[in-house]
Amino acid sequence: MADVYAVFGTLLALGIAFPGLLTAWWLLFPTRIAIAQTRIERTPWKSFGMGIAGAIVLLIPLFVLFSMPFPFSKFLGAILLFGSLGFAGIGAAGLAAHMGKSLQQRTDAQYSPLGSFVRAAAALELAAAFPFLGWFIVIPLTLIASLGAAIFAALGWQAKPNGSSSNSPDPAAESPEAAGHAA
């Protein structure tokens, strides 16, 4: 019975922490989250494609590190895995920001930007927690698209208004004010 409590407690803690993590990324890296949000809004398929490419690049060293018989290599593999999931959280925060913007436009209630962001992050989490559909469709698709949007945001590649990608860095990220937030 203790095992059931441990699993339930862990899932409950993760459920509370996920919107908090996305909100922290949104507050700490506003420039990068805005780039990820724009990428998900305007070029979702390019974000998804970049996410697939990034996942393939990450899976090769992960398989190598986890298949080695040394405990330290498995430790490095775990650091790489959790680091990449944390990095993909930047793209997930961009997705939640897009959902929050859509929530503000579709409802009559006047939510603050933070309020609509947290509601959207909770909605994203609840969609992922839905049995089978959330586990096997929502989580993989959002994880891959979020990884791609995070890669674009880290590179500073903004989407042009017409939907085509731009390979030039974000000019706002080069300003002194944004330099402190873009790390």
pTM: 0.82
Q: DSSP strand E in the chain: where?
A: none
Convert the pLDDT of each residue in 99-139 to its tens digit: 999 999 888 878 899 999 999 999 999 999 888 999 899 99
CA distance 38 to 159: 7
The answer to whether 165 touches 159, Cβ cutoff 8 Å, is: yes
At 149, phi and psi to the nearest 5? -65, -35
Convert the pLDDT of each residue in 133-172 to its tens digit: 998 999 999 999 999 999 999 999 888 776 444 454 544 4
CA distance 116 to 135: 24
CA distance 70 to 159: 43
The answer to whether 149 touches 157, Cβ cutoff 8 Å, is: no
Q: How does 89-114 read in b/e, with b if 16+ C-beta sit within 10 Å?
A: bbbbbbbbbbbbbebbeeeeeeeeee
